[in-house]
Structure 1
Amino acid sequence: MSDKLNTDFKKHIVRNFNDYLEILREIKKDDENVWFRGQSNASYRLVPSAMRDVYTIKDQFDRPKKPVKLTEYNNRGDMVAYVDVAGMLEEFKKLAKPYFRIQPNNDLEWYFLAQHYGIPTTLLDWSTDPLVALFFAMPEKVNLSSDDTIKDSIEDFQENSYSDKGAAVFVINPGKMNEICTFYKVKKTDKFIDFPLDATEHYNLISTYLPGSCEQLLPCCITSTPIDKRICRQSGNFTIHGNMVWPLDHQNVTKSAIHKIFIPYQCIKEMKEILDVLDINKRSIYGDSELDAITKNISKESEKNLKLAIEELKGKYQESLVQ
């Protein structure tokens, strides 16, 4: 069944696998061209992995600020710092090249691979397969209080769109999202972009989002290329995010275009069992690759460097106050 609530998201609630299929049927009846994303906690925002630990370091007048982890979003124009995405991409390209049978044609395809092998990027994964999204919504462990009931979890979500008492699958129309987010127009026309950009056909435009030389602010929905079996297994596409660190669901205008399907944690066991019967599991979704260990080291090193840099900035800020 589907409980649609009058909130910013187009909200739905499932209590079992059949509910999930019925909601998908309802959504796709109105809109065939949709993408899906699963998150293991409904409280998580739609923000790329590289932008989850962000620190403010300067104000809009280029004056140093005491580095503080960003917890609330604003439009004051502060300068922020996060992990060195461009540096990690270059390191990944050097170390990963021998592991790929098909070599990427350009930096964008390298970026797709980096994302799918665990490097923090400004990409957010979406899938054209709702069962793949459901797999990613499944937490490895669920810690439920003995007093928690499915009714309690549903009521919590009804009151709070970012409830932590369940998982979530998000559904977007990528063309509609581009129409909302984009501030550029299709060349030589007056029409705003209302379709997902193709990674090959629109490479020159999408490349302006790449790390190190990003010229864009707002996110954009883009299709991937079948460069790797992991991307193919996950039916993967992306939103690629610009220099603005706001989550995709930060503004009401984007929230209102997003379906959020809430899955109470009490339902997870049944969902996992059915997905496993359908052979949708970690083995089929990821496969095995020695690259995973390599990318984990690259990510850890970058996170360590960010923390060191922030501590150094904090020290300099304190010195400036004394002077």
Structure 2
Amino acid sequence: METVTAGSWDELQSELFAHSWNEKLQRFRSRFAFRGLSNANYRLETSLIRLGGDYDYVERHLLRNFRKYAHRNVVERDSLWHWLSVAQHFGLPTRILDWTYSPFVAMHFATASIDKFDRDGVIWAINYVKAHELLPDCLRDKLLAEGANVLTLQLLSDTINSLDELDALASEKVVIFFEPPSVDDRIVNQYAFCSVMSDPHMVLDDWLEKYPYLARKIIIPASLKWEIRDKLDQANVNERVLFPGLDGLSRWLKRHYSPRT
């Protein structure tokens, strides 16, 4: 897997937008999913894995009870993918990982925690188009028929609508990128989409060891974080925009007025 370290703000921009030229379209259209982490040593573990214990056993119980108690508030349609997306959005441990199409949003999440400015951060970039070439025919055919690169909830629900069906999707473990429902402005403003593994035990960076050509790791040195953070704030990429509401406003103001030391 390619790993690069950005030595400056300009180098970081260059690395994040590398390989974005689409010869067929004659446009700059990146095919990478981005995920920013405040610590370069953090793995691509789902919140379900981080729950620990018999997380694979309790997954269906978590989701069943979430559906039971949340149904009257957030129901849009009764499908596995709707409920997984909404549960992830509201903090339930799931096998979903959050990604963004925006390199700047990924930069925000890599530099949002000033208590971690003493350690390197990282932005993961995964080519979701190439990753989807590994999908079983039932899903690849739907993408081809739709002319899409990322699956929607409707396309997924037409093929898979239970955890058992997801687990049995393929003998070879695969990762699926899909777009969640826009249940609030947070998802829209973060330009968010999601990934899910067909195996709830699989950590994505372990899976990528088998397909290293799919991903890049862009290391952000700790010494660069303050400059990135200040420039993102100047560009209006901050909690006030990405987390609309008084909680996001308060988080932005707290960090914005915190002393450097």
Output the TM-score relative to the length of structure 2.
0.75
Of structures 1 and 2, the larger Rg is shown by 1
The answer to whether residue 226 in structure 2 is matched with residue 272 in structure 1 is no
Letter of the 1:231 partner, please give it: I
The answer to whether residue 39 in structure 2 is matched with residue 85 in structure 1 is no
Q: Secondary structure at the match of 1:170?
A: strand
**1:85 CA drift (Å):** 2.7
**1:261 CA drift (Å):** 0.6
Judged with a 3 Å threshold, the aligned counterparts in structure 2 of structure 1 residues 29 and 205 are, in CA distance, closer, same or farther, namely: same
Judged with a 3 Å threshold, the aligned counterparts in structure 2 of structure 1 residues 289 and 86 are, in CA distance, closer, same or farther, namely: farther
| Alignment partner, residue 261 of structure 1 | 218
**1:14 CA drift (Å):** 1.3
The answer to whether residue 180 in structure 2 is matched with residue 224 in structure 1 is yes
Contact 1:109–1:227 (CA under 8 A) maintained in structure 2: no
| Alignment partner, residue 136 of structure 1 | 109
Structure 1 portions without partners, runs of 5+: 1-8, 56-79, 145-164, 291-323
**1:53 CA drift (Å):** 4.4
**1:287 CA drift (Å):** 2.6
Contact 1:166–1:262 (CA under 8 A) maintained in structure 2: yes
Letter of the 2:60 partner, please give it: A
Judged with a 3 Å threshold, the aligned counterparts in structure 2 of structure 1 residues 234 and 143 are, in CA distance, closer, same or farther, namely: closer
| Alignment partner, residue 38 of structure 1 | 36
**1:137 CA drift (Å):** 1.3
Q: Hey, what's the Cα distance between the residues in 2 that align with 1:212 and 1:50? A: 18
User: RMSD value over aligned CA atoms?
Assistant: 3.2
Judged with a 3 Å threshold, the aligned counterparts in structure 2 of structure 1 residues 128 and 213 are, in CA distance, closer, same or farther, namely: closer
Letter of the 1:264 partner, please give it: P
Structure 2 portions without partners, runs of 5+: 23-28, 248-261
| Alignment partner, residue 104 of structure 1 | 76
Report the identity percentage: 23
Question: Equivalent residues in 2 for 1:204-223 (5 A)?
Answer: 204-208=158-162, 210=163, 214-216=167-169, 217-223=173-179
**1:44 CA drift (Å):** 1.5
Question: Equivalent residues in 2 for 1:1-323 (5 A)?
Answer: 9-29=1-21, 32-55=30-53, 81-82=55-56, 84-97=58-71, 100=74, 103-107=75-79, 108-138=81-111, 139-142=113-116, 144=118, 165-180=119-134, 182=135, 184-186=136-138, 195-208=149-162, 210=163, 214-216=167-169, 217-251=173-207, 252-288=209-245
Judged with a 3 Å threshold, the aligned counterparts in structure 2 of structure 1 residues 188 and 119 are, in CA distance, closer, same or farther, namely: closer
Write 1 or 2 for the structure with the bigger share of helix: 2
Contact 2:133–2:140 (CA under 8 A) maintained in structure 1: no
Output the TM-score relative to the length of structure 1.
0.62
Contact 1:176–1:195 (CA under 8 A) maintained in structure 2: no
Letter of the 2:14 partner, please give it: E
Q: Secondary structure at the match of 1:177?
A: helix
**1:98 CA drift (Å):** 5.8
Judged with a 3 Å threshold, the aligned counterparts in structure 2 of structure 1 residues 273 and 242 are, in CA distance, closer, same or farther, namely: same
Superimposed CA distance per residue, residues 254-283 of structure 1 (whole angstroms, 9 cap, x where no aligned partner): 333101110011111111111212222223
**1:94 CA drift (Å):** 4.3
Q: Hey, what's the Cα distance between the residues in 1 that align with 2:2 and 2:140? A: 35
Letter of the 2:87 partner, please give it: A
Contact 1:248–1:254 (CA under 8 A) maintained in structure 2: no
Number of paired residues?
A: 232
Judged with a 3 Å threshold, the aligned counterparts in structure 2 of structure 1 residues 274 and 215 are, in CA distance, closer, same or farther, namely: same
Judged with a 3 Å threshold, the aligned counterparts in structure 2 of structure 1 residues 90 and 211 are, in CA distance, closer, same or farther, namely: farther
Superimposed CA distance per residue, residues 139-198 of structure 1 (whole angstroms, 9 cap, x where no aligned partner): 331363xxxxxxxxxxxxxxxxxxxx4111111111211223x3x214797x99994322
Q: Hey, what's the Cα distance between the residues in 2 that align with 1:260 and 1:11? A: 5
